[in-house]
Structure 1
Amino acid sequence: MPNHVPLRSLLLLSLIQKRFLKTSASPSSFNVQYLIDSCGLPSLLALSTYQKLQLDKKNLPNAYSVLQYLKAHDFSNTHISKLIDKYPRVLQVRVESNLKPKFDFFTENGFVGQLLPQLILSNPSVLRRALDSQIKPCFELLNSLLGCKENLVVALKRASWLLTVNLKVVIQPNVDLLIKEGLPLDRVAKLILWQPRAVLQKMDRMVYALHALKSMGLDVEDNIFIHALRVRIQLPETTWKKKIEGMKSLQWSEEEILGAFKRYPPILALSEKKIRSSMDFFINTMELERQNIIACPLFLGYSIDKRVRPRYNVIKVLKSKKLISRDKKMTTLLTINEKNFLTNYVSRYVDVVPGLLELYMGNGKTKMKDS
C-alpha cells in the first residue's frame, strides 16, 4: 500500500545504518560513530557527513578542534548538529586562521553568549566570507547607518544575510538617495532595522516608489513615510493595482483606499482574503458602520481570532449584564493595549462573571446566561 512505502523505506535505511555501524573493524564506522558521540549527530546525519567529507585519521584532529572550539563558545550539541547539517565543511575549517579571528570580532561587537551561535546558524555562509574584505566593511557601514552596536546586533539578528552581500554596491546608493530626498538618517536606520530588504531594491524601483508616495502627498519627514515606503517598494505596479481593485469591490472608493493607506500603510500589504473576512466580521457580526473602519483602517490589521473576537465577546457579555455602559464604543475598546483591556474588562469582572476569563481566552461559550 502507498502509505506503507515511507515507513518501509525508513526501516530499510535504519537496518543499513545499523549494519554499517556494526562493522567495528572499518575505519569509516569508527569515524561515523565519532560524529555521533562527539557532535551528538543523529546517525543518518553522521553517515551523510562522513560520506561528504571522507573523514580519516589525517583530518579527524582538525574536526575535533573545531568541535571543541564551538563548544567553548556556547554551541550546544543541538547547535553543532544543525550547523553541520547546514554546512558540513565547518569540520574542515581551520580554527586559528578562520574561526578564531571571526568569533573574536563578533564577540567584540556584541555577539556574546547565545547570540553568537544564533548568528552563525542563521547564516553559516558567513564562515566562508573573508573577515577583512567582507565582514568588517559590512559592520563598519551598518554601524555608521544604525548609530550604535545595539542596533547593529538587532539588525543582524533579523537579517544575518547583510554580512554576505556587497553593501556598498547594493545598499549605499539607495541610502544616499533617501538622504538626498530628505529622509532623516534616523528614519533610514529604522527602515534598515524593520525592513532591510526595502533598501536592497534596484535604484529605479526606489526612485519610482519615492515619486509615487510624494505624488500622494506624503512628506518624507512624516513618521508614516518609511512605513509607506516599506509597502510601496515591495509591491509591483500590477500587484498594487490589483489590491486597489480588490478593495473597490468591497465598496471602497479609490480616495478612501489611498486615504486609508496614508494613515495605515500595511493595509495594502494585507491579503484580499484577510480584508474580506475582517470586513465581514466587523460589519455583519459586530455591526460596525463601514465609515468606522475607513476612519480607522488599523482595525483591518488586527487578528480577528486573537484580538477582535475575544474582546467583542467579553464586552457583549459585560454590556448584557449592565456591568459597563452600553455607550462604550467598541471601536475604542479595540484599540486600547492588551494590558489595559485585560485589567479593566477581564480581571475586574472575573469574579462577578464566572467563565469570563475562559471566554476571553477562547475556551468559553460566547453566549452566557444573565446572572
Structure 2
Amino acid sequence: MLSTSLERTRAMVECAQGLGVPRGSAMFKHALDAVSFISEDKIAAKVDYLKKTFRWSDAEVGMALSRSPMMLRRSKDALRSKSEFLISEVGLEPEYIAHRPAMLNYSLDGRLRPRYYVVKFLKANGLLDRDRDYYATFTLVEKVFVRRYVCPYKEAAPQLAEDYDAARSGELPANFKFT
C-alpha cells in the first residue's frame, strides 16, 4: 500500500468498508489486503459467485466477508468444492457457514474432510456421547483435535489414528466409507 497512489488507497478503503468491514476493526487490514489490486468488477463477480455457490443472501455475504474478507482471494473451484462438501455432505445450513466463514480458510482435503470423517465414524459407532459442533471441530489446532477425538478411542477403534492420517494424505480408508 505504501507504493500505491493516494487515490487508489482511498478506493481500497472505500471498497473494504463497502464490504461491511468497519475501519477500526481487526479485520480491516485483511479487507484492505483482500481488495488490493482487484477491480471492483471482479469483486462484484466474486460476491455474486459466493451468493450463488453458498446460497447466501446479500446480508449473509456481507456478514461472511466482514468476518473473512480473504474469501475474495479464494479460487472459484476451492469455494465450490467447499460449498458442495459443507452443504451437501456435512449437511450444514448456508446461514451457519455465513456466520462461521473462517472454516472456508481451511484445507478441504487436509483438515475439513478428514475431521468430518473422524466425527462421523465416532458417531456411527456410538463412541461420541453427544453431537459435536463441526465449526468447533474444524477450528481446533491439530494437537488438540487428536487429543480429543483420536487418542481417547485407541482401544475402541485402534485403527482410527491410522485412518485419520490416511484421510489427511488424500486416501479414503474403508472405515470412513459410509453408506
TM-score relative to the length of structure 2:
0.86
Match of 1:315 among 119, 128, 131: 119
1:278–1:304 CA contact under 8 A, matched in 2 = yes
Question: SS of the residue aligned with 2:12?
Answer: helix
Matching of residue 273 in structure 1 with residue 77 in structure 2: yes
Structure 1 position 327, deviation (Å): 1.8
Matched residue, 2:12: 209
Q: Please name the residue that 2:101 is paired with.
A: 297
Contact residue 227 and residue 266 of structure 1 kept, 8 A: yes
Could you say which residue in structure 2 is the equivalent of 1:227? 30
Tell which has more relative contact order, 1 or 2 (C-alpha 8 A, sep 6+).
2
Cα deviation 1:278-324 (Å, max 9, x = unaligned) = 01001111111121111111122211100011101111111122221
Unpaired stretches in structure 2, ≥5 consecutive residues:
none
* CA-CA distance at 1:215 after TM superposition: 4.5
Alignment partner, residue 336 of structure 1: 140
Q: Which residue of 2 aligns with 1:16?
A: none
State the 1:339 CA deviation. Answer: 1.3
Say which one has the larger Rg. Answer: 1
Contact 1:346 1:356 in 2 (8 A): yes
Q: Matched residues in 1 for 2:94 and 2:129: separation?
A: 23
- The 1:217–1:267 alpha-carbon spacing in structure 2 relative to 1, beyond 3 Å, is closer
Kindly report the root-mean-square deviation, in angstroms, between the aligned alpha carbons of the 2 structures.
Answer: 2.0
Post-superposition Cα deviations, 1:111-166, rounded to whole Å, max 9, x if no partner, equal: xxxxxxxxxxxxxxxxxxxxxxxxxxxxxxxxxxxxxxxxxxxxxxxxxxxxxxxx
Whether the 8 Å contact between 1:355 and 1:364 is mirrored in structure 2 is no
> Which has more helix, going by share of residues?
1
Structure 1 residues 216 and 265 mapped into 2: Cα distance closer, same or farther (>3 Å)? Answer: closer
Q: CA deviation at 1:340?
A: 0.7
Give yes or no for contact 1:356–1:364 (8 Å, CA) kept in 2. no
TM-score (norm 1): 0.43
Q: By how many angstroms is 1:330 displaced?
A: 2.0
* Alpha-carbon distance, 1:216 to partner: 4.8
Question: What is the aligned counterpart of 1:243 among 46, 52, 69?
Answer: 46
Assess if the C-alpha contact under 8 Å between 1:264 and 1:298 holds in 2. Answer: yes
Once residues 281 and 263 of structure 1 are traced to their aligned partners in structure 2, the CA distance between those partners, rounded to angstroms, is 21
Residues 199/360 of structure 1: CA separation in 2 closer, same or farther (3 Å cut): farther
Written as runs of structure 1 = structure 2, the 5 A alignment for 1:1-371 is: 198-250=1-53, 251-361=55-165, 362=167, 363=171, 365-367=173-175
- Does the aligned pair in 2 maintain the 1:260–1:297 contact within 8 Å? yes
Aligned-pair identity (%): 31
Number of residue pairs aligned between Structure 1 and Structure 2: 172
| Residues 221 and 346 (structure 1), Cα distance of their counterparts in 2 relative to 1, 3 Å cut | same
Distance 1:216 1:305 in 2: 29
